[in-house]
Amino acid sequence: MVSAPAVQATVDHSALAHNVRLLIQASAPAKVIAVLKANAYGHGAVPVARTVLAAGAAQIGVATLDEAFELRAGGIEAPIIAWLHAFDPSEAVAVFAEAVALGIELGVSTSTQLRAVAEAAMRADEPAVVAVKVDTGLNRGGFAREDWRKAFADLANAEAAGAVRVRAVFSHLANADRPEYRTNAEQASGLRDAVALARKAGLSPQLVHLANSPAVLTRPRALVDGVPAFNATRPGVAVYGLSPIAGRDFGLIPAMTLTARVGLVKRIQAGDGVSYGHDFVAPTDTTLALLPIGYADGLPRSLAGKFEVVIGGRRYPGVGRVCMDQVLVDLGPGRPRVREGDIATLFGSGKDGEQTVDDWAKAAGTINYEIVTQIRGRVRLQHINV
């Protein structure tokens, strides 16, 4: 028997579809590659993939091949690109060969990766579909500028030998959340230079992409002017209804709501300390409710005393330390109408007075991306409006 979940993250697929349609409109005429890395930012990769594709996304993007393999195993047949690879060299060819056989587009960032991909393609007896990642200023993954010319020459030779088919050239922005910051134009220009070198080497990439969520939604001039060259976008966090720029409302709808059942209600007296260290001491007689969620489930320990929950339409503050698997909220004096088994909403869209992921992020001194990707442990995902 499967019991009702004590802690649940509800994912609203109507919100996901709304967000994807908004991103498609903002990206036009470019195609949208919806980024579903990290288990679709904690929302559940396979069901989310079905929804975003049905809403019009042209392709799925993930970081690792394990993530891509999970999507294929879940029945997702649409194009998938995976771009972050770190293998034992003795295993790389076999892993890439599996990816080639499954039709997964491989982001390539180093000459070592290119050699392994080419060998894998020969083993799979079919060309590997490749997306070339170039570093245009983030100074993270991708071929360094001084290596572009040789990389494209090597790719052209591999393509001529039937080992690879170069489908895309792409890069990643460092300051997209500052739309008019100078490096956006510099990186756009750098990507255009890379594409020109690729074509000079005899390659004909179908797709060129640079814009992530903030770039899609703000359309910095550097990218608008480059639309003919950049014909795909890679939104991530915006797919899930979270603003990529703190304080900016783009009409997105948050898809995840986090709830927990009240596990215990108890009275304490003025002067009583609460939880480890007694960081909170009751100033008056009051009533506490225990919620079975803690930092092992994605409730940041840094939110101790900084968050509120909604139970029965009223807000109540969290008190005391956030423990590994439980936390307490102060229901106040008197006889609150809260009982064991009642549902407490920790965050959601905010439409019913609950806090949002952005509220948590601000209080915890982090970003909304981190909050949703950390929902884990005993939290059960429920998908609605699928």
CATH assignment at residue 290: 2.40.37.10
CATH number at residue 202: 3.20.20.10
Sign, CA torsion 155/156/161/162:
positive
pLDDT of residue 186: 93
Tokens of 308: 């509120």
Laid out side by side, the sheet with 308-311 consists of 264-268, 286-291, 327-332, 314-319, 308-311, 343-347, 256-261, 7-12, 380-384
Domain identity same for 49 and 150: yes
Specify if 248 maps to a domain. no
Domain identity same for 63 and 208: yes
Domain identity same for 168 and 264: no
Domain identity same for 200 and 301: no
Domain identity same for 169 and 298: no
Active-site positions? 37, 276
* Global pTM value: 0.95
Tokens of 104: 């997964």
Specify if 227 maps to a domain. yes
Distance CA(33)–CA(23), nearest Å, equals: 10
Q: Name the residue among 42, 46, 56, 167 with its Cα closest to residue 104.
A: 167
Write out pLDDT tens, residues 100-155.
Answer: 999 999 999 999 999 999 999 999 999 999 999 999 999 999 999 999 999 999 99
Distance CA(301)–CA(169), nearest Å, equals: 41
Sign, CA torsion 200/205/207/212:
negative
Under 8 Å CB-to-CB from 183, ≥6 apart: which residues?
A: 137, 173, 174, 175
Instruction: Give the bridge partners for 130, in sequence order.
Output: 106, 166
Domain boundary residue among 215, 240, 265? 240
Domain boundary residue among 240, 272, 300? 240
Counting Cα atoms < 13 Å in the Cβ hemisphere of 292 gives 16
pLDDT of residue 227: 43
Number of domains in the chain: 2
Domain identity same for 227 and 263: no
Domain identity same for 86 and 148: yes
By residue range, what is the domain housing residue 268? 256-355
Beta strands per DSSP E along 242-379: 256-261, 264-268, 273-274, 280-281, 286-291, 308-311, 314-319, 327-332, 343-347
pLDDT of residue 334: 83
Domain identity same for 28 and 119: yes
Domain identity same for 20 and 144: yes
Domain identity same for 104 and 153: yes
Specify if 17 maps to a domain. yes
Domain identity same for 47 and 131: yes
pLDDT of residue 221: 56
Annotated binding residue at 324?
A: yes
Specify if 134 maps to a domain. yes
3 state SS of 348: strand
Q: What is the pLDDT along the chain (386 residues), one digit of tens a residue?
A: 557 899 999 999 999 999 999 999 999 989 999 999 999 999 999 999 999 999 999 999 999 999 999 999 999 999 999 999 998 888 999 999 999 999 999 999 999 999 999 999 999 999 999 999 999 999 999 999 999 999 999 999 999 999 999 999 999 999 999 988 999 989 999 999 999 999 999 999 999 999 999 999 997 655 555 444 589 999 999 999 999 999 999 999 999 999 999 999 999 999 999 999 999 999 999 999 999 999 999 999 999 999 999 999 999 999 999 999 999 999 999 888 999 999 999 999 999 999 999 999 999 999 999 999 999 989 999 999 99
pLDDT of residue 180: 85
Specify if 331 maps to a domain. yes
Specify if 251 maps to a domain. no
Specify if 360 maps to a domain. no
Domain identity same for 235 and 117: yes
Specify if 385 maps to a domain. no
